Structure 1
Amino acid sequence: MDSPHGAAVTAEDFGLKGPRGWAFRGVRLDAPPGALIAIEGPSGSGRTCLLLALTGRMRASEGRAEVGGLRLPRQMAAVRRISALGPVPGVSELDPAFTVAEHLRERALLQRRYDGSLRALLRPRTERTAAARNRIDTALDTAGLDPANLPKAERTSVRDLERLEALRLSVALALIGRPRLLAVDDTDLKLSDAERAEAWELLRSVADSGTTVLAVCSQAPVGAITVRTATTATTATSGTSATSATSGTADITEADAADVSEPAEAPGATTEKTTDEKTTDEGTADAFAETGRA
């Protein structure tokens, strides 16, 4: 029997400390593959730091976590290879000057260049083009974005997209790489109630397709496995079952991410560092590298 595509995510007493104190601390989580996990809390409470730590982009200071059976922080590079970032301000943002087509083409080229097998690279050009187009179409369909409905179709600039359309595009770009874990920041930011419902419907559909989804928000939807980041200890809930998760006092802002993060790694590297020999001040560059514009 095939194993689930999505990555199970677990954490025990997981914490990250920066130069001005704890971003988060004491996080406990147990989510199965294909789960929708909501990181809920006010801005500045360490939500983005937790998201980046669980996707291998920032090095935790204490505790342990596993993503798809890969241990954090020891196997951060391996976790990065099975996870993908949707919109994360300051890390994986869309370029407002690019069109939808340019973003899609760039991501497909990066995917083929850095993540494709040697056999795939040696295939005839027509086959490679068809395979890339199929990946793009599948990702767009999963994200619920039909470029034909945009003002200028695929030639529409990102600056002309509505907030929900931009979210769908970011999710589609992340899904081109077929990740086991998709991470989305500020899911419900600047969305109306109706748009917020659409956004969560989108992320639920991605989770239902088998990809585990980790989403930062100010208010978690009913039924999601919820981790709350706040100044007091809380308990996370998952529908009818409870999942233990607590968060300590957040004394640093999310803007401090680069001060406590993991160094950049060349995309597509075949070797993996699994020791603590790396420095801790260049991690955000690794996430920037995913866009090809580091």
Structure 2
Amino acid sequence: MADRHAGAAVRAEALSLRGARGWVYRDVEFEAPPGALVALEGEAGSGRTSLLLTLAGRMRPTGGSAAVDGLALPKQAAKVRRIAALGPVPGVNEPDPALTVAAHLREQLHLHGRPFAPSARRGNDRRAALALAAAGLDPDRLPDGLRTPARELGALDRLRLGTALALIGEPRLICVDEPDERLDDAGRRAAWQLLRDTADRGITVLASTTDAGRAAGLADLTAQTTPAETPAAPEQEAADARA
């Protein structure tokens, strides 16, 4: 996995996005050093998902400025996408319920150009095992191990799987949307601890939430999103402003 100095600094100044239905998010300001865990707090409809997609180089803002590892957005969005990964983002990259944990891992390895020749299998298996271990997803405690379909995973294990898939690409920035939703208090603490552990590996982590207090002091800083004039679904936001 990435070393402790691999994280990407992230800066946003008056960052804003206006779509056909009005403001999606507006005047977001924060500066995060490499390896920080940032809680992006905002109520439903405040554009948290779109903000994450913008900072991951996947959506074009309409105002203000932002940079990831010194790469200006949106001008250098393609370069940002090479170092930024999406963790779980509901409605954007959720695991396929019918696919097994192993199938998701194979697909992600393929996306990152890992060869599937028999001679490469050992290296791929090790890479996947390291990602699972880093995300705290132990196949031995799953109903059918790596053959367990994603639909049989609980909310916390889906977060762990999504994080493991993001880690396979050895990113310098990971963006996660609502990691603490549909979890009880213990699960929320475990979710934020997972993100804290990921940041402690040197990877910058941006995580959206409706209540930064759920991070229980684990986040290094909190940034706020301003409610949109008319709440929009992530799919509509994406249609309005793709990078």
TM-score (norm 2): 0.92
Q: State percent identity of aligned pairs.
A: 51
- Asked if 1 retains the 8 angstrom alpha-carbon contact of 2:196 and 2:218, the reply is no
* Aligned-partner residue type, residue 230 of structure 2: D
Structure 2 distance, partners of 1:93, 1:162, is 13
Equivalence for 1:47: 48
| SS class of match (1:112) | coil
Amino acid at match of 1:51: L
Q: Name structure 1 gaps, 5 residues minimum.
A: 114-120, 232-248, 263-282, 284-294
Structure 2: any 5+ residue segments left out of the alignment? Answer: none
For the Cα contact (< 8 Å) 1:97–1:159, is it kept in 2?
A: yes
1:258 to 2:232 alignment: no
The C-alpha deviation readout for 1:212-232, integer Å capped at 9, x for no partner, is 00111122222521112244x
Work out the CA distance in 1 between the residues paired with 2:174 and 2:240.
22
- Report how far residue 3 of structure 1 moved: 9.0
Q: CA deviation at 1:131?
A: 2.0
Q: C-alpha displacement at 1:201, in angstroms?
A: 0.4
Per the alignment, residue 4 of structure 1 pairs with: 5
Moved more, 66-75 or 130-139: 130-139
CA contact (8 A) 2:48 2:208 kept: yes
Structure 2 CA distance, aligned partners of 1:171 and 1:53? 19
In structure 1, distance between residues paired with 2:72 and 2:229:
24
Structure 1 equivalent of residue 167 of structure 2: 175
Question: How far apart are the structure 2 equivalents of 1:167 and 1:3?
Answer: 22
Residue number in structure 2 paired with 1:100:
101
SS at match of 1:66: strand
What is the one-letter code of the residue matched to 1:192?
D
Distance of 2:78 and 2:241 partners within structure 1 = 12
In the other structure, the counterpart of 2:224 is 228
Query: In the superposition, relative to structure 1, how do residues 206 and 250 fare at CA in structure 2: closer, same or farther (>3 Å)?
Result: farther
- Distance in 2 between residues matched to 1:217 and 1:102, nearest whole Å: 29
Q: How does 1:263-278 map to 2 (within 5 A)?
A: none
CA contact (8 A) 1:59 1:260 kept: no
Are the aligned partners of 2:4 and 2:35 in contact in 1 as well (CA < 8 Å)?
A: no
Number of residue pairs the alignment of both structures matches: 236
For residue 14 of structure 2, give the secondary structure of its aligned residue in structure 1.
strand
1:91-135 per-residue CA deviation (whole Å, 9 max, x = no partner) reads 11100001111111111122125xxxxxxx6xx945522221221
Tell me which structure has the larger Cα radius of gyration.
1
Highest RCO, 1 vs 2 (Cα 8 Å, sep ≥ 6): 2
